[in-house]
Chain A
């Protein structure tokens, strides 16, 4: 008996093969969007592999974190490459997750029966941002130290639970070694564990429900629609895309390395140019622009409450977009998405210019 037959008897591989043969991908102007989820997945895998490699040398702790990262990039063979790949793939990961989210949004792929896929995807996005926020502090450099102070202070401004959240995040009242230990645990254990479970759910949902098509294509009769088999046609294109992305990451890592900066110092003033990661920049710039008080409310609090409300609305879009439920495009939600993108891009550029 061959290996396949032997495994088939135990794992019912025939059923998986049968499912794979039937799996097909719609071919239309937006087929390219289908690669974005796969690219995000590939970058996540790159994160895991490079992150595990970094773990072999990284030592959390105020006295050792910065020094161990400096050791990795300056003494360990190809250590600089592993760190750069981790940093660049992290940034590209967030970028592609956002791109994936917006294409799903404009394709109305969140409509019934895919609401749960959207919700799980949004939770994955929040966790991805958590990955970014917690990982930013780990090299324990000056910029990361102040970005974490600002970020955790923003969390601390949330009404009712703010103080609790602040102490929970910082492991005390101030950003200190306790914060670094927490962020390390959150970054390498807690978020990866939750992320993996959610990712599994997200992928199962995608497999069960198949690829979504935009509402207008749904009106085309089935016999006039075009498809390509997932195996091998789409899968090979997927792999090719991943290969291109890996090359892009390698090129960025070699030619545009991320500076390690100077070690965080509790008694040093915040240097000019303190900024969060680019994906938090639109919120950071907004907070910078809001005056100290707007009417009777503190500007900072107003900004945070607005972002929380915006995030909630975005999260529950599948339930709020009544037209998408009946297979139509809503002009309101389209404009909502367009204005949001313009706002995010404008604020991000503005944030870097000032």
Chain B
């Protein structure tokens, strides 16, 4: 009898806690399949400038070097998720939160970031700067 009551009690606790636990975890929302976004007109990017744009739900940093080359990298620092910025004086990507540094290819070169930033392709098309996940043909 004790075993039945005990088991019943724990089953009841489980029946109460399970839906609450499930409720607390947000449902996975399917990420919009984004393959490219327009970051703006070429004229909006003078040399040594940058802009952060939304790529699906993620921020991507698009920057133009002093020599005119464009690059795009994930703007989320691989250390603790802060949003990075372009340092035009040293031509590096800097995370202000923990002083992490990446080169223009997104490679982690100093500070605590453990991994490189993901690279995106930049395509210049009809005076527009387009950021894509893959090489455009």
A residues within 8 Å of B by Cβ? Answer: 146, 149-150, 152-154, 164, 167-168, 171-174, 178, 266-274, 287-288, 290-293, 298-300
Determine which of A164, A267, A288 lies in contact with B54 in the assembled complex, contact meaning CB atoms within 8 Å.
Answer: A267
Interchain nearest-CB distance for A342 vs B (Å): 23
- Which chain B residues (51-99) contact chain A, with CB distance < 8 Å? 52-54, 57, 59, 61, 75, 77, 79-85, 95-99
Query: CA–CA, A90 to B40, complex, Å?
Result: 44
With known contacts A172-B29, A173-B57, A174-B57, A270–B83 Cβ distance under 8 A = yes
Interchain nearest-CB distance for B74 vs A (Å): 13
- B28-67 vs A, CB cutoff 8 Å, 1 = contact: the mask equals 0100000000000000000000001110010101000000
Check B26 against A287 for contact (C-beta < 8 Å).
no
Check B54 against A269 for contact (C-beta < 8 Å).
no
Query: CA–CA, A338 to B40, complex, Å?
Result: 57
Most buried by B among A152, A174, A178, A293: A174
Check A298 against B59 for contact (C-beta < 8 Å).
no
Residues in A whose Cβ lies below 8 Å from that of B85: 269-270
Q: Interface on chain B toward A: helix, strand, loop, or mixed SS?
A: loop
Interface size for B (C-beta < 8 A) is 29
Check A292 against B26 for contact (C-beta < 8 Å).
no
Query: What are 11 A-B pairs at a CB distance below 8 A?
Result: A149-B81, A149-B82, A178-B26, A269-B75, A270-B83, A274-B82, A274-B97, A287-B112, A290-B112, A292-B79, A300-B80
Residues in A whose Cβ lies below 8 Å from that of B81: 149-150, 152-153
- B93-110 vs A, CB cutoff 8 Å, 1 = contact: the mask equals 001111100000000100
A150 (CB) vs chain B CBs: closest residue: B80
Query: CA–CA, A171 to B52, complex, Å?
Result: 24
Residues in B whose Cβ lies below 8 Å from that of A167: 25-26
Query: CA–CA, A128 to B25, complex, Å?
Result: 23
B114 at interface by CB-CB < 8 Å: yes
B24 at interface by CB-CB < 8 Å: yes
Check A146 against B83 for contact (C-beta < 8 Å).
yes
Q: Give the 5 A-B CB pairs with smallest separation, nearest first.
A: A269-B85, A270-B82, A153-B81, A272-B96, A150-B80
Check B108 against A267 for contact (C-beta < 8 Å).
no
Query: CA–CA, A142 to B46, complex, Å?
Result: 26
Check A266 against B112 for contact (C-beta < 8 Å).
no
Check A267 against B59 for contact (C-beta < 8 Å).
yes
Determine which of A153, A269, A292 lies in contact with B96 in the assembled complex, contact meaning CB atoms within 8 Å.
Answer: A269
Check A268 against B52 for contact (C-beta < 8 Å).
yes
Determine which of B26, B57, B83 lies in contact with A171 in the assembled complex, contact meaning CB atoms within 8 Å.
Answer: B26
Residues in B whose Cβ lies below 8 Å from that of A290: 112
Check B95 against A292 for contact (C-beta < 8 Å).
no
Check B112 against A300 for contact (C-beta < 8 Å).
yes
Check A299 against B114 for contact (C-beta < 8 Å).
yes
Residues in B whose Cβ lies below 8 Å from that of A171: 26
Given contacts A150-B82, A267-B52, A293-B114, 8 further A-B contacts (CB under 8 A): A149-B81, A270-B82, A270-B96, A272-B96, A273-B96, A274-B97, A287-B112, A298-B114
Residues in A whose Cβ lies below 8 Å from that of B25: 164, 167-168
Query: CA–CA, A273 to B112, complex, Å?
Result: 16
B114 (CB) vs chain A CBs: closest residue: A292
Check A168 against B82 for contact (C-beta < 8 Å).
no
Residues in B whose Cβ lies below 8 Å from that of A154: 80
